[in-house]
Structure 1
Amino acid sequence: MRNLRVVRIPHPEAGAGTALICGFALVVLTLMTAVVLLAQVGTAAARAATAADLAALAAADAARGLAAGDPCTVAMETAAAHGVSLQSCAREGPGGTIVEVRTSLTVNVVIAGYPLLPDASGRARAGPPP
């Protein structure tokens, strides 16, 4: 009897599972990061809009004499109390009783010294009914 040696030829796809799982994990991680960033943008936009609504209502009350103070100062204090900055405040209508405000909120997501997301902004208008 002859001694036969079995020679195994490596399969051409050996190790492909590891590369496939690593690639899949990278895709899942990227998608999760995108979802978290979108959630942050949505939350910041909602906060800026809510603060704009509240600032406009407070300023309209001050413009009508229902609250003490200058309407734009009241709007700025209300916006600051909600963690946003007042960008503009304008009074319109008869006697300046209609107030329009714009707010912005900085989203602090910075990569390599550059902000990744833009500032969220809100706009609201309040006053007495027509």
Structure 2
Amino acid sequence: MPEVEGTGPDSGVATIWTATAVAALTGVALLAFWLGAEVIARHQAESAADLGALAAASHASEGPAPACERARWVADRMGVTLLTCRWQQLDALVEVEARGPAFAGLPRPSAHARAGPTGEPP
């Protein structure tokens, strides 16, 4: 009796290989998306920390509280949370954290920056 096409011992193997390849590619795409989102959140936090420290330092003559309020204003506009704003001599020290859920149980991206007056050596 002749064998009917598609009923042999290799029947369906191409479907299994295709499904496995699609699953692997989907996993790689999700990993790339997650990594990209983490990098973007980290860059956003670093930029906000830098700008917040510069804003606080530029308003240092108004006093620590108004200067830190300016850093908080910058952080809010940049979409991050201001964790700390403190002063060390004439330098503003700012720490921020990205908003949103943490990915894969990792801590949220955070950054810190320091800014002070120009023209004076540290």
TM-score interval, normalised by the smaller of the two chains: 0.7 to 0.9
- The percentage of counterpart residues that share the same residue type is 28
Higher Rg of the two aligned structures: 1
Out of 11, 22, 25, the position equivalent to 1:25 is 22
The whole-number CA distance in structure 1 between the counterparts of 2:100 and 2:31 is: 15
CA distance in 2, matches of 1:74, 1:31: 42
Structure 2 spans left out of the alignment, 5+ residues: none
What is the RMSD computed on CA atoms of the aligned residues? Answer: 2.3
SS of the equivalent of 2:96 reads strand
Q: Distance in 2 between matches of 1:70 and 1:12?
A: 77
Q: Is the 8 A contact 1:89 1:100 kept in 2?
A: yes
Where has structure 1 moved over 4 Å in runs of 4 or more?
A: none
Q: How many residues get paired?
A: 116
Q: Structure 1: which 5+ runs fail to align?
A: 1-5
Instruction: Kindly indicate which of the two structures has a greater share of residues assigned to helix.
Output: 2
User: Does the CA contact (< 8 Å) of 1:56 and 1:126 recur in 2?
Assistant: yes
| TM-score, with structure 2 as normaliser | 0.83
Partners of 1:88 and 1:66 in 2: CA distance: 18
Q: Name the residue aligned to 1:3.
A: none
